[in-house]
Amino acid sequence: AQSVTQLDSHVSVSEGTPVLLRCNYSSSYSPSLFWYVQHPNKGLQLLLKYTSAATLVKGINGFEAEFKKSETSFHLTKPSAHMSDAAEYFCVVSDRGDTNAGKSTFGDGTTLTVKP
Amino acid sequence: DGGITQSPKYLFRKEGQNVTLSCEQNLNHDAMYWYRQDPGQGLRLIYYSQIVNDFQKGDIAEGYSVSREKKESFPLTVTSAQKNPTAFYLCASSAGRVAQYFGPGTRLTVL
């Protein structure tokens, strides 16, 4: 079984300040973890993914995330927020021990607001 | 350019009508998925297909049907049995069990 919890439904930061979006997961097997971004009325775009290689994963647009097995966390960070980062962010877990391709679990999302 | 296309972008349906949402991909991915997204919520899996001529129900399949006659196409039919069909529908594809790539979505509104 797998689950994912995004700890904040809304995060607000000022432009130029750091971003932290928190995600905790549970997984019966070694998980694959993903972060996606969704702008209003758009599809989801993959930001980054962890699939058992380096625990610090760098993604697009300056985002990165660190896989911490001991804390079962995969928090998303960015050193300096830009206005264009305002969007909905989803954390996703997929059990790599699960051979069923359809079994990804999405978090409920975190809305990031960036203030000028 | 490789990618996933969904059409139409906006769709309006009268109660009691069936409607079909299109999803096409040219990424040569074996697996395709349909998700439903409601305001303030994450994505919920409706149906998925790992190979042509085969598909499985997801978590909320009732009132929906799909077909997978071609690798690149995975249309979703929202039937009149779906009690609350107004939502944003997202199609995705993947090469095996790696990250999914999403289409731009179709917003369905029942009048």
Query: How many angstroms separate the first and last alpha carbons of chain B?
Result: 35
CB contact, 8 Å: A58 with chain B?
Answer: no
Q: What is the mean pLDDT of chain B?
A: 91
In which band, very low, low, confident or very high, does the pLDDT at B40 lie, cut at 50, 70 and 90? Answer: confident
B98, A107: Cβ pair inside 8 Å? no
Inspect the interface and report whether the beta carbons of B43 and A106 lie closer than 8 Å.
Answer: yes
Q: Is the pLDDT at A111 greater than 80, yes or no? A: yes
Considering only the beta carbons, identify the residue of A51, A102, A109 that sits closest to B58. A102
pLDDT for the residue B81 = 86
Alpha carbons A16 and B32: distance in angstroms, whole number: 38
Mean pLDDT of B1-19: 88
Task: Tell me what pLDDT residue A115 has.
Answer: 97
Nearest beta carbon to residue B104 from set A43, A49, A102: A43
* Euclidean distance between CA atoms A95 and A3, whole angstroms: 10
Q: pLDDT of B46-88, one tens digit each?
A: 999 989 999 999 989 999 999 999 999 999 999 988 889 999 9
pLDDT tens for A17-67 read 999 999 999 987 778 899 999 998 888 999 998 887 788 999 999 999 999
Asked if A110 reaches chain B (Cβ–Cβ under 8 Å), the answer is no
Nearest CB to B31; choose among A32, A41, A101: A101
Alpha carbon distance B57, B48 (integer Å): 7
Question: What sign does the CA torsion over B30, B34, B40, B41 have?
Answer: negative
Q: Which chain B residues are closer than 8 Å to A96 by Cβ?
A: 97
